[in-house]
Amino acid sequence: MWFYGGSFSSRVFVEYLAFFMLAMGLAFQHIATRRNRIFFSGAVLLLILLCQVQTYQYRYNQIHWSDMTKEKYWDVFLRIDKLK
């Protein structure tokens, strides 16, 4: 059951979030130049923003937990103006 009961996000990774945060912290610590740190921080912030928009879309049934196709997904990708 790939959709894990119709929730948004991946509950199967909850136990591993601490390890992901440690890995991200180590990666950020080992980035040598300031320019690369800014790029890495920007990428993380963009991914957080993407997740927040998709959580909002999921809450208002724009992203369906089992009936999404690739075409439907790209039609509503980052589109909050299509919410009813």
Q: Does 2 score more than 70 pLDDT?
A: no
Tell me which of 6 and 60 has the higher pLDDT. 60
Q: What percent of the chain has pLDDT over 90?
A: 15
Q: For residue 58, which of 42, 38, 80 has the smallest C-alpha distance?
A: 80
Q: Does 22 score more than 90 pLDDT?
A: yes
CB-based contact 56:77 (threshold 8 Å): no
Q: Does 9 score more than 70 pLDDT?
A: no
Q: How far apart are CA 56 and CA 80, in angstroms?
A: 8
Q: How far apart are CA 22 and CA 16, in angstroms?
A: 10
